Amino acid sequence: MSDFDLGRINQLIDISAVRTDVTMDELQSMADLAVHYRFFCAYTMPCFTSELAQMLAKAKDIHLGGVVGFPSGADCTHIKVITARDMLAAGCSELDMVINIGALKSGRHAYVAAEIQAVVQAAEGKPVKAIIEVAYLSRNEIQQACEIALSAGADYIKTGTGWANQPTTIEDVRLIKSTIGDTGKIKVAGGIRSLDVMLEMIDAGCSRFGVSYKSAMQIMRDVDDRLGRTPYQNQTGSVSNREAV
CB 33 within 8 A of CB 214: no
What backbone torsions phi and psi does residue 87 show, to the nearest 5 degrees? -65, -40
CB 130 within 8 A of CB 154: yes
For every residue of 2-19, DSSP letters joined together read: -HHHHHTGGGGEEEEE--
Burial class (CB in 10 A: 0-12, 13-18, 19+), 21: exposed
CB 103 within 8 A of CB 72: no
- Rounded to whole angstroms, how far apart are CA atoms 68 and 75? 9
What lies within 8 Å, CB to CB, of 87 at 6+ separation is: 46, 49, 66, 67, 68, 95
- The set of catalytic residues is 96, 158, 187
Q: At what angle do helices 213-227 and 195-204 cross, to 10 degrees?
A: 90
What backbone torsions phi and psi does residue 212 show, to the nearest 5 degrees? -70, 160
